[in-house]
């Protein structure tokens, strides 16, 4: 009964927190759907340095078009005494193909981590990042040198992130300066970069310590200007199950779409696969999303259960 009460209170508390916050969000780069799973620092710069190892990872969309790739790096700096400092650093670069142009960008991020207890088990991080976003139109028979021009959009992100052994939650704003719309630049344009807000949070339930089995339900809110009045329609629940060095998960974005992702952790590197496809009908390059992620963890330590405490 006690466990059921904890689960019930945690679920309704998290649901209530989401419902009272009005948010608008869009993943960047937008063509990679696995960003919340494999690259949370893209949505929140405060995430960098929140793990006890240095991480380098690459994710690519394959077997379908348009193509997208992202590579990131983040770590927690150490002091002269060999212990972790309060500073985290990170960076990522990406490229994505659009219908009429392709986008590429580079971001550098920094974070400050404040321990909320003497044991540094519960922490609050504040992070910011600076980035440059390039949009390069594709040449075609209909375009000329007078009409084709590249654009550059400098911007920045800001976020806060709480993390502990069982719970985590983040709130951030990305592309703070946004992009002004014009006759040439519309919301549907590949070069359009709106100001975005992100909220996500989750809780971990330890089912078996001896077998390192952990259940992690979480929620992500993602809405934009056109859907701002209906945030309840864009609340996406995630579910992960950790089994020692392996986890498998899914999310419910639509009843017409099935999603599955998993990751296996080797001693120093890991690999993951992300799949999304319609529940009915034939599968082809136009309706299946297949993304592969590879990463290296350097200097990893600590209890296995604690290393899975974040996205």
SS (HEC) of 130-186: EEEEEEEECCCCCCCCCCCCCEEEEEEEEEEEEECCCEEEEEEEECCCCCCCCCCCC
Task: State residue 10's pLDDT score.
Answer: 42
Domain extent at residue 175? 2-307
pLDDT at 189: 64
Residue 201's SS3 state is strand
Write the CATH number for 210. 2.40.160.40
Residues 6+ apart with CB under 8 A from 190: 98, 99, 100, 101, 102, 103, 135
Query: How far, in Å, CA of 133 to CA of 194, rounded?
Result: 12
* Structure tokens that stand for 310 in this block: 């974040």
pTM for the full predicted model: 0.80
The pLDDT, as a whole number, for residue 303 is: 37
Q: What stretches in the chain show pLDDT beneath 50?
A: 1-29, 143, 183, 301-311
pLDDT at res. 66: 65
User: Which contiguous run of DSSP H or E holds residue 86?
Assistant: strand 84-97
pLDDT of the residue at 282: 73
Residue 12 is predicted with a pLDDT of 41
What integer pLDDT is reported at residue 177 of this predicted model? 86
Into how many domains does the chain fold? 1
pLDDT for 48 equals: 96
Note the pLDDT of residue 247: 96
Residue 20: the pLDDT is 33
Contact 103, 129 (CB under 8 A): no
Q: What share of the chain is helix, strand, coil (3-state, %, to 5)?
A: 15, 50, 40
Q: Which residues pair with 275 in a beta bridge?
A: 260, 290
Q: How far apart are CA 167 and CA 170, in angstroms?
A: 11
The answer to whether 169 and 200 have CB atoms below 8 angstroms apart is yes
Q: Identify the residue whose tokens are 């519309």.
A: 186
CA distance 263 to 133: 30
Q: What is the reported pLDDT for 15?
A: 40
């Amino acid at each position: 009964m006690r466990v059921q009460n904890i689960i019930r209170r945690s679920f309704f508390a998290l649901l209530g927190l989401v419902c009272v916050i009005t948010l608008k969000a869009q993943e960047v780069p937008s063509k990679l759907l696995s960003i919340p799973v494999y690259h949370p620092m893209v949505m929140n710069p405060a995430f960098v340095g929140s793990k006890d190892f240095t991480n380098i990872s690459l994710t690519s969309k394959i077997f379908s078009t348009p193509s997208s790739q992202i590579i990131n790096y983040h770590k927690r700096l150490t002091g002269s005494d060999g212990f972790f400092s309060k500073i985290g650093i990170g960076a990522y670069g990406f490229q994505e193909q659009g219908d009429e142009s392709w986008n590429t960008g580079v971001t550098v991020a920094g974070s400050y981590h404040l321990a909320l207890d003497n044991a540094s088990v519960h922490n609050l991080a504040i992070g910011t990042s600076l980035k440059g976003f390039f949009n390069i139109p594709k040449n075609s028979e209909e375009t000329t040198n007078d009409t084709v021009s590249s654009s550059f959009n400098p911007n920045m992100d800001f976020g806060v992130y709480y993390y502990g052994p069982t719970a985590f939650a983040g709130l951030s704003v990305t592309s703070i300066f946004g992009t002004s719309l014009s006759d040439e630049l519309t919301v549907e344009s590949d070069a359009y970069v709106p100001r975005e807000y992100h909220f996500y949070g989750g809780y971990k339930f330890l089912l078996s310590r001896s077998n390192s089995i952990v259940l992690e339900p979480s929620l992500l809110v993602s809405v934009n200007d056109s859907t701002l009045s209906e945030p309840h329609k864009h609340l996406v629940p995630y579910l992960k199950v950790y089994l020692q060095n392996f986890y498998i998960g899914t999310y419910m974005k639509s009843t017409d779409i099935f999603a599955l992702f998993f990751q296996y952790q080797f001693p120093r590197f890991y690999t993951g696969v992300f799949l999304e496809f319609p529940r009915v009908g034939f599968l082809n390059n136009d309706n299946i999303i297949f993304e592969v992620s590879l990463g290296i963890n350097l200097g990893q330590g600590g209890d296995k259960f604690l290393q899975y405490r974040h996205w």
